[in-house]
Amino acid sequence: MAKSNKLKIITTEKDYNRLSNIQKKNIQFLKIGLKIEKEKEFKNFLLKKL
């Protein structure tokens, strides 16, 4: 379906690495990162929820 409509299939790098080599031929991935600006506050929030 994607090929016939000239669309690209995009996934995360993590999920891409789970695919077989055959599946990887027509799929691209995005490298995603996360930056937490208020890291100390975020850690405290998580600790309170545990």
pLDDT tens per residue across span 10-30: 999 999 999 999 999 989 999
Which three-class secondary structure state does DSSP give residue 34? Answer: coil
> Predicted confidence band at 6 (pLDDT cuts at 50, 70, 90)?
confident
pTM over 0.85: no
- CA distances 5 to 1, 2, 35, 44, 47, Å, are 6, 5, 35, 48, 47
- What pLDDT is stored for residue 30 in this prediction? 94
> Would you say the C-alpha torsion 29, 10, 39, 47 has a positive or negative sign?
negative
Q: How confident is the model at residue 3 (pLDDT cuts 50, 70, 90)?
A: confident
- In this prediction, residue 2 carries a pLDDT of 75
